[in-house]
Structure 1
């Protein structure tokens, strides 16, 4: 067996949360618990997406339009739609630089196949736990980038010990912090100078409202020689249960005389049969004029929730980041409380569920993530409850 799996820590975070919440609910059956810890969307798929999915299902039932095996790297119609989407960001891509996936999480782990096991991975702390676990499974050495209050949870090269594979997530999960163009330029220059590769997770790019903030690493000069970008339709269009995303591997990304694009293509055609035609048709609907309009309405809904949460904690004098260009608000626990103690206080006194920062790495201790993915009325009620405790 791969004994590296034995080095994984048990994923206790959400199981512990569920246990605590279920026990509290059992002892207090008449209390309404509001869940703001979830990283999953709550609004349904838009009408344009549903119509496209239904039409694709009908196509699969007709001889003339039935589809069997599709191209592992994705159907041309969806890759062209994504290419045009990047054009709106003033980023020029070729369709064969775009690979359709079943979500960013899969490819962020699978990409390790094309790199030597001797590579050192540089991973932010705190951050999405899957980055670390995928590298532990592969037996890789890991260095950490230290996110903290002083750097507003946007660590720079000087905040770590270096690495060959650099994981950056912006807007960040869990902190909601977003890198500026200037900060990403520093990272790009660092990667190019040191022969490193940036693995850029842009799953939350659609939430960026500040036009001065980049939504793609490829908006940064020099990035096509040092970066791979991973994105997903999960939070953009509610595809968490539908599963579709994409990865961009530029032709200009070359190591030891070899295009990594060719390695990734070879990997995908060997180990992946592609995303179902029906799902890709639904994803393509996101990029139609009506699809864009409907998706934007959902994004604005979540961002308004985030604004309500931000305003509450600002009024109460809490330190926080995120929520302005992200669906997550990362708050500092008051009175030097550890994150699980604050979780317990929120659950028992406000009857609200959030996510303890310690679950995202040691750098998350003393902080707490609140999600804007919820019903508006629940968000308002939750903030009113918190105000009653701290005002």
Structure 2
């Protein structure tokens, strides 16, 4: 009568456990100032151009002549056209507005896309991984049993120091692969050569790549594509997800897009048509005022203002990475993404390191084990705090880490991330 897979999935305790430990420490030490470098939410306010567009759209809703009710489920044409003009045309892709679907967040879209595929479809994810990729497939009953910290029918593509924290091609057959670039949590990005190999592999194995590009706007390295559709043939093997959440501070407004090319077909079926049907069945569309706000990001003023916020966060990321490297810790990320990833110093596991940071220097990060088994001895720090807090936090880090001892391994040279 009920879905049994909800009972099989382990509880998602990472962030609740982080909150509990921080609250317990703060209650016992009310005078201590805690600096949060684990935050995955943005802290900068919305760009003025976005706020103005929101206000104008609200005024439209107050008039009989301009009021909007239900909109097209796929998204208003003005935003779909803006996404093409702002995201895809400049990089030379042939994606069209009809292939863009506006949503309310890439988490929603990446969780829902698995519904297009058979319950027996074989899935691969990078490890560590954004948890929603795994959990959505587990709730669909696609991953088997959870034993010893792993799902029995899930292929884990370890992202470890020896491969530069980038997933290798699957050795066993799989039908679906989730790729995230720039990556959350590792902060690494896939190069053009990397993606060419993935697209070739998918074409040869009749697999589908689910490509999460939520952090594409943070890319500064020309060797890292902003879209998988920059690779020839990708439109026949890949679905891509984009988001305004971190790019433009829409974590509270909620707006995203998914590209499902018309050329993507499996077993004679159009995945574009299937996603359109699912989208219309389960979704009444992102609010009009939010879509107008998203459109404003692509205005000259909006672009300049949003880029200033991205630069602000990336300045923080650089401070964190450089402080870790100066302390003898080989960190990756922080160049094309707002996250920095590293092995915990002194042989500590990720929760032990979390507790040391909190107790001794009052800095909070995110234990890597919460992103998968390969993250058990790693840690993620985020650049989404204020610049002032980041400066103070890295000063505290540089006092603690040398006392713990450097990581067991030597610094890793990681292609575009090093």
User: TM-score normalized by structure 2?
Assistant: 0.92
Query: RMSD value over aligned CA atoms?
Result: 0.9
| Aligned residue pair count | 390
Give the Cα–Cα distance (whole angstroms) in 2 for the partners of residues 264 and 389 of structure 1: 50
Written as runs of structure 1 = structure 2, the 5 A alignment for 1:135-154 is 135-141=137-143, 142-154=154-166
Determine the structure 2 residue equivalent to 1:326. Answer: 337
1:161 deviates by 3.1
What do the CA deviations read for 1:9-54 (whole angstroms, capped 9, x no partner)?
1111111111111111111111100000011100010100000000
Give the Cα–Cα distance (whole angstroms) in 2 for the partners of residues 289 and 303 of structure 1: 21
Written as runs of structure 1 = structure 2, the 5 A alignment for 1:276-295 is 276-295=287-306
Determine the structure 1 residue equivalent to 2:93. Answer: 91
The answer to whether the Cα contact below 8 Å between 2:105 and 2:245 also exists between their aligned partners in 1 is yes
1:247 equivalent to 2:258? Answer yes
1:213 deviates by 1.0
Determine the structure 2 residue equivalent to 1:350. Answer: 361
Give the Cα–Cα distance (whole angstroms) in 2 for the partners of residues 356 and 151 of structure 1: 21
Determine the structure 2 residue equivalent to 1:216. Answer: 227
1:155 deviates by 0.9
1:167 equivalent to 2:168? Answer no
1:389 deviates by 2.1
Q: 1:101 aligned to 100, 103, 108, which one? A: 103
Give the Cα–Cα distance (whole angstroms) in 2 for the partners of residues 80 and 390 of structure 1: 49
Q: 1:176 aligned to 171, 187, 198, which one? A: 187
Give the Cα–Cα distance (whole angstroms) in 2 for the partners of residues 390 and 213 of structure 1: 31
Determine the structure 2 residue equivalent to 1:23. Answer: 24
1:299 equivalent to 2:310? Answer yes
Q: 1:196 aligned to 207, 213, 221, which one? A: 207
Determine the structure 2 residue equivalent to 1:359. Answer: 370
State the SS of the aligned residue for 1:246: strand
Give the Cα–Cα distance (whole angstroms) in 2 for the partners of residues 319 and 308 of structure 1: 14
1:55 deviates by 0.4
The answer to whether the Cα contact below 8 Å between 1:83 and 1:92 also exists between their aligned partners in 2 is no
Give the Cα–Cα distance (whole angstroms) in 2 for the partners of residues 148 and 180 of structure 1: 17
Give the Cα–Cα distance (whole angstroms) in 1 for the partners of residues 23 and 115 of structure 2: 40
The answer to whether the Cα contact below 8 Å between 1:122 and 1:162 also exists between their aligned partners in 2 is no
1:256 deviates by 1.6
Determine the structure 2 residue equivalent to 1:80. Answer: 81
Moved beyond 2 Å, runs of 4+? none
Distance of aligned partners of 1:189 and 1:55 in 2 relative to their CA distance in 1, 3 Å threshold: same
1:144 deviates by 1.4
What do the CA deviations read for 1:65-110 (whole angstroms, capped 9, x no partner)?
0111110000000000001121011112111100000011101111
What do the CA deviations read for 1:271-328 (whole angstroms, capped 9, x no partner)?
1111010110000000111100000000000000001111101111101110011000
Give the Cα–Cα distance (whole angstroms) in 2 for the partners of residues 320 and 352 of structure 1: 17
Q: 1:122 aligned to 116, 121, 124, which one? A: 124
Determine the structure 2 residue equivalent to 1:311. Answer: 322
State the SS of the aligned residue for 1:157: coil
Determine the structure 2 residue equivalent to 1:227. Answer: 238
Structure 1 residue ranges without an equivalent (≥5) = none
Give the Cα–Cα distance (whole angstroms) in 1 for the partners of residues 395 and 158 of structure 2: 34
